[in-house]
Chains A and B, each alone.
Chain A
Amino acid sequence: GAVVSQHPSRVICKSGTSVKIECRSLDFQATTMFWYRQFPKQSLMLMATSNEGSKATYEQGVEKDKFLINHASLTLSTLTVTSAHPEDSSFYICSARVRRVNTDTQYFGPGTRLTVL
């Protein structure tokens, strides 16, 4: 159980365009999803916490107007990188929080490789 998918798996776009990344929980409902960014050989950095039906909470230094997050349903959160620039090229990973008896953890999607030319 606890499968999370992301789409697309990789995307190449021109500078100035916007890119939308979808994160879906396939076999469970996720009231909380998280978005991370990972640069080569570095760890995952939390960008924002997305709660279904409310505004996302962004980490310090992450521009909310540039990285738009929508969590419209219990199984889908989207991240839109607006007016993308080459420095936004990175590996974007989402996760969904799973709360069960005796455990409270996150299950991650496979990631989306964004390359901005």
Chain B
Amino acid sequence: SQKIEQNSEALNIQEGKTATLTCNYTNYSPAYLQWYRQDPGRGPVFLLLIRENEKEKRKERLKVTFDTTLKQSLFHITASQPADSATYLCALSPSGSARQLTFGSGTQLTVLP
């Protein structure tokens, strides 16, 4: 069965450091991989999308890599700030018209001042 794993349930880092979150998947061939941020009691907020034929995507302090051989995506936040503290979700969608998303369980990031 399809499985999406995010490396750890919780990650604490010091302000200013780079946070690296991992998303691994099995039994899946996604066309897109996406990262979302979710704050407590709120819906997810879209951050970045990367396609299967792309290796890296950047947006301001965020960087996403996508290795379809390893079946892994890495999500980096550079120069992290306490305001970056949230749960980060990776989500995969297959090719096809529906573009349904399957979510990982999320990693709760805490950036310590």
Chain A interface residues toward B at CB < 8 A:
4, 6, 32, 34, 42-46, 49, 57, 91, 93, 95, 97, 103-111, 113
Main secondary structure of the interface of A (DSSP, over half): strand
Taken together as a complex, chains A and B put the C-alpha atoms of A107 and B98 apart, in Å, by: 14
Q: Which of A6, A34, A42, A107 contacts B100 (CB 8 A)?
A: A34
Once A43-B89, A43-B105, A103-B49 are accepted as A-B contacts, the answer to whether A111 and B100 lie under 8 Å apart by CB is no
Size category of the binding interface on chain B: 20 to 34
Taken together as a complex, chains A and B put the C-alpha atoms of A109 and B38 apart, in Å, by: 11
Chain B interface residues toward A at CB < 8 A:
32, 34, 36, 41-46, 49, 89, 93, 98-106
The closest CB in chain B to the CB of A98 belongs to B46
Once A93-B44, A105-B34, A111-B42 are accepted as A-B contacts, the answer to whether A43 and B49 lie under 8 Å apart by CB is no
Q: List 26 A-B contacts (CB under 8 A).
A: A4-B43, A6-B43, A32-B99, A34-B100, A42-B105, A43-B104, A44-B44, A44-B101, A45-B103, A46-B100, A46-B102, A49-B100, A57-B98, A103-B49, A104-B32, A104-B49, A105-B34, A105-B99, A106-B99, A107-B46, A108-B36, A108-B43, A108-B45, A108-B46, A110-B42, A110-B43
Q: 7 closest A-B pairs (Cβ-Cβ)?
A: A108-B43, A43-B103, A43-B105, A111-B43, A44-B103, A93-B43, A108-B44
| Nearest CB of B to A34, in Å | 7
